[in-house]
Amino acid sequence: MKLYLAPMDGVVDWVMRDLLTRIGGIDQCVTEFIRVVDVVYPDHVFYKRCPELKTGGKTASGTPVFVQILGGQAEPMALNALKAIELGAIGIDINFGCPAKTVNRNDGGATLLKSCDRINDIVKSVKKRMPDHIPLTVKIRLGYDTASKCIDIAKSIEDAGADLLTIHCRTKMDGYKPPAYWDWIPKIREHVKMDLVVNGDIWNLEDYKKCQDLTGESQFMVGRGAVADPFIFQKIKGAYFENSWMDTKKLLPTFFESSYQFHSENFAITRTKQWLKSLSLSYPEASSIFQNVKTITTGNEFIDKLQNLTNQ
């Protein structure tokens, strides 16, 4: 079994990847997307999204991190992929799943799912330019407004030479509305041989078991479920049976301090509040901490309160 931490723009940055991969259970990560238009970006753009480029493309605990790019033009996508590799990327991921209006309006993300030919062309062009030993992975949704073309989409990605395909089991129009349609995976599997990673709505061990049962697959990606419960990967792997709130709460001051160091005071306050809200989905105790810190706007007061509340 292989487990992936989902890329989440504005949520899973370097600090979150570092923290979650230290816990264990995660086999691979993907960065937040880099939106490619028509230029090759300077180094700092790649380093900002993926500071791990400076440490062999892996997190401190040794988990590989692929750099994700998003865009609709084959040539600049290929050139930016090459640039990321030159800077140390150990794998590239292409995002054809982003549902954001501004992204789709600018010919990126899920809007590409309307055309198998365009997807095929982009993946082929990027793959052709990449060195053979660097893997190219692709992330999609089931389709734009219907899942009816998902088999053709998957086939076009396999045909283009991608090494692995992650499928978020919803269309763009489904947004994030439950359920995720895992039942499409066995239908897609009948037509493609490539590695597939199943994604969408795995919030806990029970969801994982259902998803595994229904799909028969061995690779899964978890996003929101991972920020709601940082121990989910270890639980899925049968390596953690403790009271996870006791361990989770200890992560909060570290997260705040790393976010402060890596970005700024305001960033750290905002992200820690955001994380507490996500944690509240799994742990009522996090909701009570959130209520206690939600109006705090200075770093010193925030960390004092956080330390106090998480030491109890």
Ligand X SMILES: Cc1cc2nc3c(=O)[nH]c(=O)nc-3n(C[C@H](O)[C@H](O)[C@H](O)COP(=O)(O)O)c2cc1C
- Residue 87 CB contacts under 8 Å (≥ 6 apart), including other chains: 43, 46, 47, 53
Q: Calculate the alpha carbon distances from 183 to 118, 215, 218 in Å.
A: 26, 7, 15
Active site (catalytic) residues = 98
Selected binder of ligand X within 2, 224, 235, 277 (CB under 6 A): 224
Closest by Cα among 155, 167, 174 to 199: 167
Listed ranges 190-198, 207-215, 216-224, 288-296: which one lies at the site for ligand X (CB under 6 A) = 216-224
Q: Calculate the alpha carbon distances from 245 to 193, 278, 280 in Å.
A: 40, 13, 11
- CA–CA distance, 236 with 258 (Å, rounded to integer): 27
Q: Is 219 in the site for ligand X (CB under 6 A)?
A: no
Identify which of residues 233 and 309 has a Cβ nearer to ligand X in the complex. Answer: 233
Return the number of other C-beta atoms located less than 10 Å from residue 219's C-beta. Answer: 18
Q: For 177-280, where are the alpha helices, taking DSSP H only?
A: 184-189, 205-215, 224-228, 232-236, 244-249, 251-262, 265-280
Report the amino acid identity of residue 199: N
CB 227, CB 258: distance < 8 Å: no
Q: Is 10 in the site for ligand X (CB under 6 A)?
A: yes
Listed ranges 77-85, 110-118, 217-225, 230-238: which one lies at the site for ligand X (CB under 6 A) = 217-225
Q: Is 222 in the site for ligand X (CB under 6 A)?
A: yes
Identify which of residues 72 and 253 has a Cβ nearer to ligand X in the complex. Answer: 72
Q: Could you tell me the smallest distance in angstroms from the CB atom of residue 228 to ligand X?
A: 9
- Positions 47 through 86 that interact with ligand X (CB under 6 A): 68
Identify which of residues 113 and 202 has a Cβ nearer to ligand X in the complex. Answer: 202
Q: Could you tell me the smallest distance in angstroms from the CB atom of residue 7 to ligand X?
A: 4
Q: Could you tell me the smallest distance in angstroms from the CB atom of residue 89 to ligand X?
A: 16
Return the number of other C-beta atoms located less than 10 Å from residue 294's C-beta. Answer: 10
- CA–CA distance, 210 with 208 (Å, rounded to integer): 5
Q: Is 97 in the site for ligand X (CB under 6 A)?
A: yes
- Positions 103 through 142 that interact with ligand X (CB under 6 A): 139
Closest by Cα among 104, 165, 174 to 146: 174
- Positions 165 through 184 that interact with ligand X (CB under 6 A): 168
Selected binder of ligand X within 171, 199, 219, 272 (CB under 6 A): 199
Q: Is 8 in the site for ligand X (CB under 6 A)?
A: yes
Selected binder of ligand X within 28, 63, 80, 95 (CB under 6 A): 95
Residues that bind ligand X (CB under 6 A): 6-11, 32-33, 68, 95, 97-98, 139, 168, 199-202, 222-225
